[in-house]
Amino acid sequence: MRTAPSADVDEARGKAPRAAESGDRDARTVPVGLLLSGLAVTLLLALTAAVSWGSSGVPFTDVWSTVLHRLTGGQPRPGTQDLIVWQLRVPRALLAAVVGAGLGVVGTAVQALVRNPLADPYLLGISNGASLGAVAAIVLGAGTGGLLGLGVSGAAFLGALLSFALVWAVARRGGAFSPLRLVLAGVAIGQFLSGFTSYLVLRVGDEQQTQGVLFWLLGSLGGAQWSTLALPAAAVLLGLLALQARARALNALLLGDETAAGLGVDVAALRRELFVVTSVLTGVLVSVSGAVGFVGLMVPHLCRLVVGGDHRRLLPVSALTGAVLLVVVDIVCRTALPSTELPVGVVTAFVGAPVLLFLLDRRLERAR
Amino acid sequence: MRIEVEGLRVAYDGRTVVCGVDLFAAPGEITGLIGPNGSGKSSVLRTVYRHLRPASGRVLLDGTDLATLSPARSARHVAALPQERGGDFELTVHEVVAMGRTPYKRAFAGEDDGDRAIVADALDRVGMARYGTRAFSALSGGERQRVLLARTLAQDPDVLVLDEPTNHLDVRHQVELLALLRAQHRTTLVSLHDLNAAASVCDRLHVLRAGEVVASGTPLEVLTPTLIADVFGVRAAVIGHPLTGDPLIAFDHTATVAAPPP
């Protein structure tokens, strides 16, 4: 093969003067390693702030001394500070980071899976099944120790599996889980299951239960405990690894199924794997936090603006950005109103809708 | 390398769209598939780049059945430029062309200097060397098609498979793209609607009608007024092109002729 003139190689690496049209892509020259390090530092700061700020403030230094003391195997110090920092706020802040990271990753993958930038983790009906499970546990299982002895989270995950099985059965017909079939199956089955949820809430639940259900449906990180943190954290980490291993195939899928096939991607197998990974991950996330909206839609878009569409960069950047975003949002939820806590979904919707409109505006502007 | 399609049958949703096709593309030659809409051209090509599985029959690459190779392995030999247009996901030209390296890469492997040189070379070959950092979605139709051709070149394939690569291009871009194709000197299998383009660019043609090959040979042998009337249902005169000497098909745009039922 003929060797290319070195100037072209430099240009391909993004060193040559760029064309005017690509002016909005300057951020791409930021090395992704530096960006990820910056995001990691930001996440650490956000986590510290999340533990520090609240109804009773704890100075940053005390936050870290308590955390380091406990991390190095120290016994709980007497007083309320250990309780507030280590038992309540650290698990909650970490859960926010895990759920945010998971939603960012799943959102990115689902958008590639159905090749639609407006897709989000809840498009394929998994969250509707989880909601049905959770609501059934809250409403039917009240006072009897939860549905079949499962907690709300267990029932939610069971519901997620139920809708996954239904969507799978419908979408696999005719072969390759085509994007259109997946979306139609997901939306139809999601609505179907939502019908059951609404029925349960209206006909069976009492007023107090209804409020509990509403809070759950809007998403909440209030249930965070150390004991319930490991499973979602492991799921997000494994999910990210599984998707990162397929990052090139995901890229190929963006250009189309036939293009991907021509690049040596087994498209049918890839779609199956993506559907399983994103569904399980969504099920786990919704089980622990309810269906927190907008994060899975907004984060991939924001990150694409900065690092472009290549999934090798987009997946880790989306994970960290989602984590930072949800940690910050949860701070707002806990501190915005003096005596009461806002559901996470309310704040993500308030932040997410304007951001989405801004992105849409920008996209239309460019298309002109 | 030589591509041979043997007794190929392809079915979609139980409907047979290709019924027993035999054809070949000789090493270094450009082989054209022509035929009316729905004659099975795209289905044959999709089987060659393994988007579709044959219901029966085989696709042989220098005698090796492609189905015995892993998808990635056969993609190192056969690169495809399908008709589809993907979504807009903020990819740069460089990123699109670098996808051509997919069949050579393991999971988690990054892009190395060799890949970058190959991508730059591929862009250079299609005259898009200065476009690497541009947004793919901001390109014109002709530029996009050249970038996608560069992607297939970055795959460093023995065989190029292209489905209607000149669709939606104006005449100048059509001529440019086909000239680029000629300049690659690779075994090429291409479907074309434009019979005059096929006559001038292809070394050999296979004519499909209703999922069967009805004629094969050089453009001069194949493109006769009788065949054009039979297969396409239009009247045409075939004359020598005043500038190039290639067969020139002059259609009678005033009337169709009754094509025999397939």
User: Could you say which residues of chain A have pLDDT below 50?
Assistant: 1-27
**Identity of the residue in B76, B84, B108 whose CB atom sits nearest the CB atom of A259:** B84
A323 to chain B, closest Cα gap in Å = 22
* Whole-number pLDDT of residue A4: 39
The pLDDT tens digits for A51-95 are 999 888 899 999 999 999 999 988 888 888 888 999 999 999 999
* Whole-number pLDDT of residue B42: 95
CATH 3.40.50.300 residue spans of chain B? 1-77+157-225
Domains along chain A? 92-335+345-353 (1.10.3470.10)
* Whole-number pLDDT of residue B259: 61
Quote the CA–CA distance of A53 and B165 in Å, as a whole number.
Answer: 60
* Whole-number pLDDT of residue A148: 59
**Identity of the residue in A12, A174, A310 whose CB atom sits nearest the CB atom of B120:** A12
User: Could you say which residues of chain B have pLDDT below 50?
Assistant: none
The pLDDT tens digits for A283-314 are 999 999 988 989 999 999 889 988 989 999 99
Give me the residues of B, 127-156, that contact A with CB < 8 A: 129-135, 138, 152, 155-156
Domain B1-77+157-225 has CATH 3.40.50.300: yes
DSSP label of A316: H
Query: Is the Cβ pair A4, B124 closer than 8 Å?
Result: yes
Give me the residues of A, 179-238, that contact B with CB < 8 A: none
ipTM score here? 0.93
Question: Which residues of chain B have a CB within 8 Å of the CB of A13?
Answer: 116
* Whole-number pLDDT of residue B40: 95
* Whole-number pLDDT of residue B13: 78
The pLDDT tens digits for B179-214 are 999 999 999 999 999 999 999 999 999 999 999 999
